[in-house]
Amino acid sequence: MTKLPNQAQVVVIGGGIIGASIAYHLGKLGVTDTLLLERDRYTCGTTWHAAGLVGQLRATENLTRLCRYSLELYADLEAETGQATGFRQPGAISLATSQERFLELRRTAAVAKHLGVEAEVLSSQEAHALWPRMEIDDVVGAVHLPKDGMVSPVDVTMALLAGARQSGVTTLQNVPVEGLIVEGGRAVGVTTAQGQVRAETVVLAAGMWSRDFAGRYGVSIPLHAAEHYYAITQPLEGLTEETPILRDPDHSAYFKEDARRLLVGIFEPVCRPWGMGGVPDVSFAEIPANLDHVMPLLERAYTRMPFLHDVEIRQLFCGPESFTPDDNFILGEAPTLPGLFMAAGFNSIGIQAGGGVGKALAEWIVEGEATMDLAEVDIRRFEPFHAGGRFLADRTVETLGLLYGMHWPFRQFETARGTKRSPFHQRLLEKRACYGETAGWERPNFYAPEGVSAEYEYSYGRQNFFPWVGEEHRATREGVGLYDQTSYAKFLLQGPGAQAVLQRVSANDLASPTGKVVYTQWLNPSGGIEADLTITRIEDESFLVVTTAATRFRDFHFLKAAIGDDQAYLTDITSGLATLGIMGPRSRELMAELTSADLSNEAFPFATSQEIELGYAQVRAMRITYVGELGWEIYIPTEFSLHVFDEIMRAGQALDLRPCGFHAMASCRLEKGYRHWGHDIGPEDSPLEAGLGFAVALAKDADFVGRRALEAQKSKGLERRMVQFQLEEPELMLYHDEPIYRNGVRMGLTTSGGWGYSVGKAIAMGYAHGEAGSLNAGWVRDGEWEIELAGKRYAASASLRPAYDPASERVRA
């Protein structure tokens, strides 16, 4: 038996597919001093009972890249390691029983092709020819992915472990990790009954146990186990290894051949969370099936295969799988405990994602930063409240089923709502706000007119709120609108070293005068955008940092980690300040009713901030905008917030002040070409590519992270550049991820899209690529541009300049 070493470069906790894949890839990268420890036997957690589907497509480009890599890896793993994996590629069919679902599938197929995933749209008859025993009366159409595959999850995990060992990695089973060694605020090893192992890096890949384990060290990992079902029939005539996987999302079911039997898997629309009192110390766990819950769902699945009524079910299986609050998995280094990486919460795609995740995390550990944009799965997208037991149990009910639900544009979670509310919540509810949720915040997305219920009616076309948002947009452009922006995150960085810290992390110049609002990005060493925010010097040694609700935790810890030895102190003051946006050409008039402060351009220019009196309150007013109009963001100490709100509403009556929601804001910012972090910009996009060169102070008297990468990019010339589009076709809607073409050549995907009410067209932005240095206005003008929607291309006009007020005259009015 291999003796437990007392030291390793990396210790991986967990011998499921994820831990195995991380260890395999660390070995490939030369980190052979890696030790994997499994509590019981390899695969005994969730991996052993997975159905083994390896689909290639995910909601976004990078997650698809990870899954495609898994497929390629698994295809060759047996030849490489000598260990069978059960890999085969029968392809997969997804069925649509409504026109909306068919549209969704065709949109996905268009993206698939862009990502190099073979995909063909099928008629119901064509689908039937591939799966002759299914009923197709209700089928509208289908999409076929001929290269989708499947594996034996146990075998593929064993092969990854074998591959890891062949590289020199040590893997041990029956060694439970009891705890972490934490020194100086860093994870520096693990403890076991057989002794301690010190390590530079610890990776937690302990599946559904990860949350409880990490919670002991103040690290929040929001995942919750839920029951997950499939049934396996007796052997059936006609099933072969070539029988395609069949997904029937409208019946919450999938079908796959399994040793000549049929495995019928269920994705329940309302699922049953499991292990609420803590995940027990079980191995190869099987949960007793709840027949009242699962039988009606199986019945539903049988409507696709009525012959199954006469077929014996040999096994009805229920096992636990981990789900997260947003259905995306969790990767990265714990912001509150450096040295501890994690990979958990796989929402039923751990096998399909496992190969790519292992590679991505191993590279992240070795390189010291993610080698691709993984923001959507980064642990830092969550806040500690997300890992609360009750929040998770309530949310999990919904997340499992969503995997097969309709992915409507703007779809809002229905569970675990009402977590964070601004002081204006009730007031705005009375104005018929329809609330959406971001990072736990309830935020007005739109306002319904009198007599109409403030609820979404989802569709891929114009949704019910389309005309109402148009009115809010017009109020912002022509009069004055009120936005509740309380959800914005606010931090205070104070101390004699504050400026030095900000100069080091910011691409823009923060050696700024008091009252100056500086728009800046924080970059990684490769020049990619890690954060996009405004920073205002409010006193000599005090800066107010404002960022989005969704990046509060991420940006806070990014800045905290950057402080280093400088004398500076960072405080999150989000809860202390409510925020209202007063936006539009008549905002000055409105503000003037409430304050004696001089609001003229000379006294209060754009991108400056002052403390002013407003009603009985002292507030901080910032002349800044995300809608592209004259306007102020008002930061109000929370206890004064309702007073200020009431004063604004009173004074606003004469000016037709209109409460406006985040959909109107999105429409306005798109027209104005304002980028949105997470959509248009992220860790793989440089500010120069994104058209944000105006916010990069290469001439500033301080070095900053990413500077060298930007200088190199500048001297070589850009090979990639953000372009803004307007669709010529008047009726169509754009959302994001629609393929872009220039002169028939596929360029990329739109990063965000929407309706521009002022320009009267669907608008979008996205990156185009070409020869270094050639991507100038002429190149854009001379191209014939098209955007593809559900398989059909439509002409678009393109520009490097925004569709609305390109010279920003209105903002500076």
Q: In this structure, are residues 780 and 800 in contact, taking their beta carbons and an 8 Å threshold?
A: yes
Q: Do strands 785-789 and 739-742 pair parallel, antiparallel, or not at all (unpaired)? A: antiparallel
Nearer to ligand FAD, 58 or 742 (CB): 58
Q: In this structure, are residues 341 and 203 in contact, taking their beta carbons and an 8 Å threshold?
A: yes
Q: Do strands 481-484 and 658-660 pair parallel, antiparallel, or not at all (unpaired)? A: parallel
Q: Does 351 bind ligand FAD (CB under 6 A)?
A: yes
- Determine the Cα–Cα distance for residues 721 and 745; give it in Å rounded to an integer: 15
Q: Does 19 bind ligand FAD (CB under 6 A)?
A: yes
Of 46, 56, 171, 324, which one interacts with ligand FAD (CB under 6 A)?
46
Specify the stretch interacting with ligand FAD by CB under 6 A; choose among 181-189, 215-223, 348-356, 591-599. 348-356
Q: In this structure, are residues 205 and 18 in contact, taking their beta carbons and an 8 Å threshold?
A: yes
The nearest distance, CB 703 to ligand FAD, in angstroms, is 40
- Determine the Cα–Cα distance for residues 561 and 186; give it in Å rounded to an integer: 12
Specify the stretch interacting with ligand FAD by CB under 6 A; choose among 117-125, 206-214, 358-366, 559-567. 206-214
Specify the stretch interacting with ligand FAD by CB under 6 A; choose among 295-303, 341-349, 502-510, 754-762. 341-349
The nearest distance, CB 346 to ligand FAD, in angstroms, is 3
What is the 3-state secondary structure of 284-326?
CCCCCCCHHHHHHHHHHHHCCCHHHHHCCEEEEEEEEEEECCC
- Residues 251-310 binding ligand FAD (CB under 6 A) are none
Of 58, 61, 110, 221, the residue nearest 682 (C-alpha): 61
Nearer to ligand FAD, 75 or 103 (CB): 75
Of 10, 26, 35, 50, which one interacts with ligand FAD (CB under 6 A)?
50
- Determine the Cα–Cα distance for residues 531 and 520; give it in Å rounded to an integer: 8
The nearest distance, CB 260 to ligand FAD, in angstroms, is 18
- Determine the Cα–Cα distance for residues 203 and 20; give it in Å rounded to an integer: 11
Neighbours of 32 (CB within 10 A): 17
Of 197, 206, 219, 262, which one interacts with ligand FAD (CB under 6 A)?
206
Of 143, 145, 172, 177, which one interacts with ligand FAD (CB under 6 A)?
177
- Determine the Cα–Cα distance for residues 49 and 17; give it in Å rounded to an integer: 12
Q: Does 230 bind ligand FAD (CB under 6 A)?
A: yes
The nearest distance, CB 251 to ligand FAD, in angstroms, is 17
Hunting for tokens 């109000």 — which residue is that? Answer: 636
Binding mask 618-657 for ligand FAD (x = CB under 6 A): ----------------------------------------
Of 521, 499, 563, 562, the residue nearest 706 (C-alpha): 521
Q: In this structure, are residues 722 and 769 in contact, taking their beta carbons and an 8 Å threshold?
A: no
The nearest distance, CB 698 to ligand FAD, in angstroms, is 44
Of 10, 35, 37, 197, which one interacts with ligand FAD (CB under 6 A)?
37
For the packed helices 350-367 and 153-167, what is the interaxial angle rounded to 10 degrees? 20
- Residues 321-340 binding ligand FAD (CB under 6 A) are 321
Specify the stretch interacting with ligand FAD by CB under 6 A; choose among 104-112, 202-210, 434-442, 482-490. 202-210
Residues composing the chain: 813
Q: Does 346 bind ligand FAD (CB under 6 A)?
A: yes
Specify the stretch interacting with ligand FAD by CB under 6 A; choose among 23-31, 46-54, 109-117, 545-553. 46-54
Nearer to ligand FAD, 340 or 523 (CB): 340
Of 145, 149, 127, the residue nearest 137 (C-alpha): 127
Specify the stretch interacting with ligand FAD by CB under 6 A; choose among 17-25, 530-538, 539-547, 653-661. 17-25
Specify the stretch interacting with ligand FAD by CB under 6 A; choose among 48-56, 121-129, 267-275, 619-627. 48-56
Q: In this structure, are residues 735 and 725 in contact, taking their beta carbons and an 8 Å threshold?
A: no
- Residues 663-692 binding ligand FAD (CB under 6 A) are none
Specify the stretch interacting with ligand FAD by CB under 6 A; choose among 8-16, 127-135, 588-596, 722-730. 8-16
Q: How does DSSP assign 444-490, residue by residue?
A: EEEEPPTTS-------SS--TTHHHHHHHHHHHHHS-EEEE-TTSEE
- Rule CB under 6 A: which residues touch ligand FAD? 13-19, 37-40, 44-47, 49-53, 176-177, 205-207, 209, 213, 228, 230, 319, 321, 344, 346, 348-352
